Amino acid sequence: MKHVISALVQNKPGVLAHVAGMFAARAFNIDSLVVGRTDDPDLSRMTIVVVGDNRVVEQVRKQLAKIVSVVKVQDFVGQDIVARALMLITITTPAEKRPEVLALIDMFDSKVVDIGQKFVMVEICGPDSKIEAFIDACKPYGIKSVARSGTIAMARNKRN
């Protein structure tokens, strides 16, 4: 099962290495890891995606919470969340196929960020399923390169 874990951590050198080392020491693979500052310059948020059974991930979550520089840990499993990833993808676009590729880009609500005679670079943002579907749709044209961010996520606010 896929688990999205959010960790609020102190924004200081060595924290990322310490957290990644904890996962490595337990032979637990990180599927994706994103770190960014929060509105508080002293804190960063790590969003860690791991695949594993609930018991193992719960143990890892508890170990993560014991790290001194970790302020708060939350496993989003079973919660209603908003999750997004970003991808830049360069697609081969011969002149005769360019209208098809541009229509595909529009259909996926993505954006052209660079263009050349034989390629187009596209920015796409959304859930992993959307990004994977876009990659599959682009394969027949030829994919030159892909750069992806990991997943970022937040729990949905309860609407009152």
Could you give the domains of the chain? 2-75 (3.30.70.260), 82-155 (3.30.70.1150)
* pLDDT score of 78 more than 90: no
Rg of the chain taking only CA atoms, in angstroms:
19
Distance of alpha carbon 83 from alpha carbon 146, whole angstroms: 20
pLDDT 10s digits, 8-56: 999 999 999 999 998 888 888 889 999 999 999 999 999 999 888 888 8
DSSP for residue 79: S
What is the average pLDDT across 107-130? Answer: 96
Question: Whole-prediction pTM value?
Answer: 0.84
- For the cut 80, the answer to whether the pLDDT of residue 62 exceeds it is yes
Q: How many CA atoms lie within 13 A of 141 on its CB side?
A: 29
